[in-house]
Structure 1
Amino acid sequence: MRKSILVIVKGPPSDDKAKAGLFPVTIRQFCTIFETVYVFSIKDQKGEKAETLNNLGDAIYINPLMAPGTFLGEMPVNAVNAQLIASAVASFCNGKDIDLVLSLQSAPDSGKFAKQVANRLGRPFGSWEHLTSYERKHFIGQRRRLKDFFRKADGIAAVSEPVLSHIQSNFGVTLKNSAAIPNPAPEDIESSEPVDTISFETYRTGGPLIGAWTKWRKIKRLDILIDAFLMTLERFPDAQLLVAGRVMHEPGPKAQHPNIHFLGHLSRDQIRSLAHAVDFCCVPSDYETFGLPIVEALAAGKPVVATNSDGPRSIMTEGFLGELTPTGDLNTFADAMLQTVERLQDYDAHEIRQFAISRYGKQAQIDRWAAFFDTMTG
Structure 2
Amino acid sequence: GRPEMKLVTTLHGTDITIIGQQRVYKKVTSFGIARSDRVTCVSHELRSRTLGLLECDADHVEVLPNFIDVRRFVPGCCPDKRRQLGHHDEKIILHVSNFREVKRPRDMIHAFARVVGKINARLALVGDGPELAACKELVEKLGLRRQVSFIGTYDAIWELMPQADLFYLPSEYESFGLSALEAMACGVPVVASHTGGLPEVVTSGQTGILVPVGDIQVHADAMIELLSDDTKRKAFGAAAREVAVGRFALEKILPQWESLYERTLKG
Superposition TM-score tier, normalisation by shorter sequence: 0.7 to 0.9
Change in 2 beyond 3 A, CA 1:367/1:138: same
User: 1:255, CA displacement in angstroms?
Assistant: 1.6
> Structure 1 stretches of 5 or more lacking a match?
1-93, 96-120
Say whether the 8 Å CA contact 1:189–1:299 is kept in structure 2. Answer: no
Task: Give the Cα–Cα distance (whole angstroms) in 2 for the partners of residues 336 and 368 of structure 1.
Answer: 35
Alignment TM-score, normalising by the size of structure 2 = 0.87
Secondary structure, counterpart of 1:296 in structure 2: helix
1:221 paired with 2:104, answer yes
Say whether the 8 Å CA contact 2:246–2:252 is kept in structure 1. Answer: yes
Match of 1:356 among 222, 238, 244: 244
Task: Give the Cα–Cα distance (whole angstroms) in 2 for the partners of residues 244 and 167 of structure 1.
Answer: 31
Equivalence for 2:225: 339
Matches within 5 A, 1:171-186: 171-186=54-69
The code of the aligned residue for 1:195 comes to: C
Say whether the 8 Å CA contact 2:203–2:209 is kept in structure 1. Answer: no
User: 1:185, CA displacement in angstroms?
Assistant: 1.7
Change in 2 beyond 3 A, CA 1:245/1:252: closer
User: 1:150, CA displacement in angstroms?
Assistant: 2.3
Say whether the 8 Å CA contact 1:126–1:153 is kept in structure 2. Answer: yes
**CA RMSD after TM alignment:** 2.2
1:306 paired with 2:188, answer no
Change in 2 beyond 3 A, CA 1:149/1:247: closer
The code of the aligned residue for 1:160 comes to: S
Matches within 5 A, 1:92-103: 95=2
Task: Give the Cα–Cα distance (whole angstroms) in 1 for the partners of residues 90 and 25 of structure 2.
Answer: 50
The code of the aligned residue for 2:30 comes to: K
User: 1:139, CA displacement in angstroms?
Assistant: 4.0
Change in 2 beyond 3 A, CA 1:318/1:327: closer
Secondary structure, counterpart of 1:209 in structure 2: strand
1:255 paired with 2:255, answer no
Task: Give the Cα–Cα distance (whole angstroms) in 2 for the partners of residues 214 and 280 of structure 1.
Answer: 15
Change in 2 beyond 3 A, CA 1:189/1:359: farther
Task: Give the Cα–Cα distance (whole angstroms) in 2 for the partners of residues 126 and 139 of structure 1.
Answer: 24
Secondary structure, counterpart of 1:235 in structure 2: coil
Equivalence for 1:235: 118
Change in 2 beyond 3 A, CA 1:365/1:177: same
User: 1:131, CA displacement in angstroms?
Assistant: 2.7
Say whether the 8 Å CA contact 1:302–1:352 is kept in structure 2. Answer: yes
Equivalence for 1:13: none
Task: Give the Cα–Cα distance (whole angstroms) in 2 for the partners of residues 245 and 145 of structure 1.
Answer: 31
The code of the aligned residue for 2:238 comes to: H
Matches within 5 A, 1:270-349: 271-317=157-203, 319-346=205-232, 347-348=234-235, 349=237
Equivalence for 2:7: 125
Matches within 5 A, 1:89-168: 95=2, 122-135=4-17, 137-168=20-51
The code of the aligned residue for 1:254 comes to: L
User: 1:224, CA displacement in angstroms?
Assistant: 0.8
User: 1:220, CA displacement in angstroms?
Assistant: 0.8
> Structure 2 stretches of 5 or more lacking a match?
none
Secondary structure, counterpart of 1:241 in structure 2: strand
Say whether the 8 Å CA contact 2:183–2:189 is kept in structure 1. Answer: yes
Secondary structure, counterpart of 2:72 in structure 1: helix
The code of the aligned residue for 2:138 comes to: K
User: 1:358, CA displacement in angstroms?
Assistant: 1.7
User: 1:210, CA displacement in angstroms?
Assistant: 1.0
Bigger Rg, structure 1 or 2: 1
Q: Percent identity?
A: 21
The code of the aligned residue for 1:342 comes to: S
Deviation digits for residues 166-207 of structure 1, max 9, x if unmatched? 111011333332222222224643567x52122323612523
Say whether the 8 Å CA contact 1:177–1:375 is kept in structure 2. Answer: no
Say whether the 8 Å CA contact 2:73–2:158 is kept in structure 1. Answer: no
Deviation digits for residues 231-267 of structure 1, max 9, x if unmatched? 001111x211111011322215332321000000001
Task: Give the Cα–Cα distance (whole angstroms) in 2 for the partners of residues 253 and 289 of structure 1.
Answer: 29
Deviation digits for residues 256-297 of structure 1, max 9, x if unmatched? 321000000001x2x212111110100111121121211111
Deviation digits for residues 288-341 of structure 1, max 9, x if unmatched? 112121111101111000001213122113631000011222222112111221
Q: Which of 125-134 and 136-145 deviates more?
A: 136-145
Secondary structure, counterpart of 1:319 in structure 2: coil
